[in-house]
Structure 1
Amino acid sequence: MKRRSGSGPGRGGLSLLATWASLALATACSSETTGGLPPLLTANGSTPPPVAVAPTISPNLTPITFRPGPDFAPITPPPIQPDLPDPPSLRPAGEFNLLLSTPANPAVIPPVGSAFVTVTLRGLLVPGVIASVELQFFNISRGTDITGIFLPTAIEQFRNTLIGRGNSYADRTDGITLTNGFTFPADLVAYNANVFAGERVLVILVIRDSFGQALRLEARAQAT
């Protein structure tokens, strides 16, 4: 008969060792797989701080005010300046003179006897055509305007003689010339009252062309 006392404890010892090995392996796996995770609770058992949450932005309910648009007012361009002709001028050889005369036996121009004032004009160039004529007489010794002593019809005739001239072939080449000048009769009584011998008389002639360009001419003479 064989002895069985040794075999029983042997199988029981192996089973115990196997159980311890399984526990050790489970403990090792548990420490490896959970060692990198944060604890759910802190060491003292309190709740961890809350995670920050982005604030909620409330909508802007302020009404939008639109800026008024720019005022694009229409801009009027300046007028186109035409290519102007040469302004009125007196040729270098031209002249503008004044002659006063009181004849011993004055001619009678009804209803009065007359003195005479003669204006000489030669070589006037006005390519833009004469549009207006202004004529004035002054007694510069007294500082008075004596245009009114001359017959108005004579002054008007002088204007009409010049207005519209300047663009003809002769006017463009030789200039406007009043042959023998132009004589203005004056009321003899008014002349003698406003012009004494030795006093100086000034005549001013302003020629303006159709483009607004002007020429001012002056002449002086001494009364005898």
Structure 2
Amino acid sequence: MLSRPAPDAAALVFLLDVDNTLLDNDRFAADLGERLEQSFGQVERERYWAIYAQLRDTLGYADYLGALQRFRSGLDNDPALLQMSNYLLEYPFAERLYPHALDTVAHLRTLGTTAILSDGDVVFQPRKIHRAGLWDALDGEVLIYIHKQQMLVAMQQRYPAAHYVMVDDKPQILADMKQHLGHKLTTVFVRQGHYAAAGGAIGPAPDITIACIADLRERKLEDFQPAARTIPLPAA
């Protein structure tokens, strides 16, 4: 069996989060909650979100389909139940992209290798990325892990590079990645979504902070180069 040749190292790789970075996942969650209440009532809507929260605490990622599977208990004869899976899988995520998200992806691809680095399950999260048009926009350059900040070795094997740029709405994930990659990583914090709005001081602070993903369209290659003040790599 022939081994797959190792990819050539790139000068710069952009890594893009999805939820509340490229698309408005908070809006999707609000739409889902409204649909649940219309179909099953407020009590059942709250039960779904309780199941979802419990699964997220257990698994470490959002599992909307898994929550729906558990939610079916007691509702097997409700005709609305089987419509919910179709609602999730066919949700128009392309309509939830932030303004100029695809333009931003296209711009970053002119500066360096660009890929999605997301948390999530292996069914719904890829489906979301496909439905949003992001999979095609990035020619399938997509990584989905349970905890992406714990998979940096695997990420570097897939995308070897001299330098990385991580764009995310969650300051804690950016800080965790910076602690591991040090001067090899520039972190970009996008102030979108409920995680960004939660605030709080987290160190190390992001290298770059922007109000929305579209702001990256104005950035040049030199804006992402390693800063003079860097965090040393951890000892081996």
TM-score category of the 2 structures, normalised to the smaller one:
under 0.3
State the TM-score, normalized to the length of structure 1: 0.23
Higher relative contact order (CA 8 A, sep 6+): 2
State the TM-score, normalized to the length of structure 2: 0.23
Task: Answer 1 or 2: which has greater strand percent.
Answer: 1
Task: Answer 1 or 2: which has greater helix percent.
Answer: 2
